[in-house]
Amino acid sequence: MPKRVRLELKPEDEATLKMWANSATTEHRFVLRAKVILLASQGVTLKDISEKTGLHQQNCYKWRKRFETHGLDGLFDKPGRGRKPVITPEERANVIATACTDPVDGSTRWSVRKLAEVTHLGKSTVQQILSEATIKPHKTEYWCGKSPDPEFEAKQAAIIGLYMNPPENALVLCVDEKSQIQALDRTRPRLPMRPGHAKRMTATYKRNGTTCLLAALAVHEGTVDGRCVKGANHEEFLKFLKHLYRKYPGKELHVITDNLSAHKHHKVKDWVERRKRLTLHFTPTYSSWLNQIEIWFNIFARDVLDGGIWRSKQELVDQIMKYIRSYNELWAKPFKWTYTGKPLTA
């Protein structure tokens, strides 16, 4: 006849064990261990406990003994010794230090394969080290450095003021050029997209000339005015300013542009000085990102230039002008501020 040994429980331990044993969310291993202790407290033999829980008698004895010695803490697994680290601290430090330097072979970034070769480790090991250290040699982040312009504060404040609170009866225009737009044609016809296949075209191409897009974004309307010209020079810029001046009679024009030499040519300055309705605002040095036309140029490049095919320069020009008309009719709206960080200062 097996010997019955009744296990004495504290009321608070018994309540906890019952909660574990009846919980639907407790890990199954703790449910079984709690049942072992509860049955042992009722004087049930190890053999019967084994049958009721499905655990081997040796396991039932182990958990009962652990509880007798350590209480509830004894029902948790002991920290195992575990497998000895395969990667030594020296190897880890070497990979991290190497990944944070420039490659010596003339390339600009490390690959996992190159790091594995120079550190004499496996690619998977190198990848693990990089991942744990949150190092991504394949990625580059860009940031805006401080402008050296001594008038940065004043120029920035003036431009943002025009964006946020323009003068009455004023029109704020962001103007710039997108030069060297190439009319590229492919050496063989493009294959159209179909289910399971992206559109395809040859990697070889021929050039059919270039054009330059002069564009003006009406900040508070979102519409764009543009014309294609031969190149970015002061003559074309001045012609475009004259076109804008005639297009908006009776409006006070505030034109925001960057520091391209063509924009500051003495002929441009002389003409602007004689116009009471027009004021040029130059973005601070290295701060063309303040000019909202750059946002539109990014949209334009994505929608029109990426993957485009043109058999002539005129075909390219026609498509650009068609896109501007469609943009104004269908999608034009003012850009919204999304930056929520700290104010930028020089």
CATH number at residue 167: 3.30.420.10
Reported confidence tier of residue 4, pLDDT bands at 50, 70, 90: low
**92 located within any domain:** no
- The angle formed by the CA atoms of residues 57, 60 and 65, to the nearest 5 degrees, is 125
43 and 176 assigned to the same domain? no
**28 located within any domain:** yes
User: Of 75-89, 126-140, 253-267, 283-297, which range is least confident?
Assistant: 75-89
Per-chain mean pLDDT for the chain:
89
Q: Quick one: pLDDT at residue 114?
A: 93
Which residues span the domain enclosing 32?
11-75
Residue pair 327/224 in contact (Cβ under 8 Å)? The answer is yes
135 and 251 assigned to the same domain? no
Listed residue (183, 166, 141, 143) closest to 281, CA to CA: 166
**234 located within any domain:** yes
Of 202 and 44, more confident: 44
**135 located within any domain:** yes
157 and 136 assigned to the same domain? no
**282 located within any domain:** yes
Res 159 pLDDT > 60: yes
Strand, helix or coil at 187?
coil
Res 292 pLDDT > 90: yes
116 and 40 assigned to the same domain? no
119 and 226 assigned to the same domain? no
Q: Give me the mean pLDDT over the 124-136 stretch.
A: 91
Distance CA 25, CA 47 (A): 28
32 and 124 assigned to the same domain? no
**314 located within any domain:** yes
**How many structural domains is the chain composed of?**
3
User: Of 12-16, 99-103, 278-282, which range is least confident?
Assistant: 12-16
Distance CA 119, CA 127 (A): 12
23 and 114 assigned to the same domain? no
125 and 177 assigned to the same domain? no
Residue pair 226/215 in contact (Cβ under 8 Å)? The answer is yes
Q: Which two tokens stand for residue 313?
A: 């320069």
Q: Quick one: pLDDT at residue 196?
A: 80
311 and 185 assigned to the same domain? yes
207 and 236 assigned to the same domain? yes
Reported confidence tier of residue 3, pLDDT bands at 50, 70, 90: low
Q: Give me the mean pLDDT over the 321-339 stretch.
A: 92
**129 located within any domain:** yes
Highest-pLDDT range among 31-40, 115-124, 174-183: 174-183
**2 located within any domain:** no
Reported confidence tier of residue 77, pLDDT bands at 50, 70, 90: confident
- Does the model's pTM come out above 0.75? no
Residue pair 211/316 in contact (Cβ under 8 Å)? The answer is yes
217 and 293 assigned to the same domain? yes
- The angle formed by the CA atoms of residues 147, 151 and 152, to the nearest 5 degrees, is 40
Please give the span between the terminal C-alpha atoms of the chain, in angstroms, as a whole number.
90
Structure-token match 């195992």, residue found:
80
User: Of 125-139, 188-202, 216-230, 303-317, which range is least confident?
Assistant: 188-202
Reported confidence tier of residue 87, pLDDT bands at 50, 70, 90: confident
Reported confidence tier of residue 205, pLDDT bands at 50, 70, 90: confident
Reported confidence tier of residue 76, pLDDT bands at 50, 70, 90: confident
217 and 324 assigned to the same domain? yes
Question: Which of the 8 DSSP states describes residue 264?
Answer: G
